[in-house]
Amino acid sequence: MSGTTSDTLDIDPPAFERVRRLLRARAGIELADNRQSLVVARLMRRVRALGFDGFDPYLDLIEHDEPECTQFVSALTTNVTDFFRERHHFEALADLAARASKNVPFKVWSAACSSGQEPWSIAMTLKATSDAPPTWKVLATDIDAEILEKAKDGVYPVEQAAAVAPELKAAHFSPDRTGCYLRVRDALRSRVFFAQLNLLGDWPMKGDFDAIFCRNVLIYFSPENRLTVVRRLTARLKPGGVLFLGHSEAVLGIPSELTPIGKTAFRRTGAQA
């Protein structure tokens, strides 16, 4: 059995393999075989809070308890992001929006939005692009329900917004009474829509996108799932649309419909140049 009577828990190999299988099945994430200590650190508090003395009864629970399984995925999901991370992608987005048709809504999907810095950066970029289509919106999705709520809140410590230019900060954030936190203003909020979504599950949204950001999440997938997701993302791009991937992601077998246009940026071949 996975457990001890001390303040810490141990996880035996069979229980660790169950964790790996569950995480793979629910989120497509491949957990390395040397991550036992991470699993213990991330899950131990929840196991104790539920009154279990080991991992086996906890894993029995999450196999049939959907809310608890969501907690499980949230605990093991790494969320690392920042405003305007890989700034060259936002410069490319501004250029794409400036050249887009002014008569068609411009749509961007942040496909692993984490705590929200990416979709808010996308929205600030489009708002600041004077030649962008007047009608635009951003869809922000993530598998982690807990982190998605933080993204929706749009409230960040001041130091986390250090990468935001002063003029953008003044235009799109309001400080709280203490001056320690910034809140995204309503005018920007009206353009960003949040939804929980598993990239390996169904994609219920309608229509295609002018740009898709899917950065620093594919590295956690198996090569097969990585390629599957990239192909599905490509199919949801408009002709001439751009897919932005993370700088650390090496995707094997980029679909032939995608043409590299810069560092980890790929345009779907089509009418728009």
- Give the DSSP letter of residue 159: G
Look up residue 67 and give its two tokens.
Answer: 């809310």
Q: Cα-Cα-Cα-Cα dihedral of 59, 60, 64, 65, to 10°?
A: -60
131 flagged as catalytic: no
d(CA 241, CA 263): 16
DSSP 79-148: ----TTSSHHHHHHHHHHHHTS-TTS-EEEEETT-TTTHHHHHHHHHHHH-TTS-SSEEEEEEES-HHHH
Q: What is the gyration radius of the CA atoms in the chain, in angstroms? A: 20
Name the one residue in this structure whose structure tokens are 């949801």: 236
SS3 at position 67? helix
d(CA 119, CA 141): 9
Q: Which of 56, 142, 144, 210 is catalytic?
A: 142
Name the residue among 199, 194, 195 with its Cα closest to residue 214.
199
Q: Which of 24, 35, 42, 189 is catalytic?
A: 42
Please name the helix (run of DSSP H) or strand (run of DSSP E) that holds residue 200, with its range, or none: none
d(CA 42, CA 37): 9
Q: Which amino acid is at 106?
A: F
42 flagged as catalytic: yes
Q: Output the CA angle 172-82-202, nearest 5 degrees.
A: 95
User: Which residues carry out catalysis?
Assistant: 42, 142
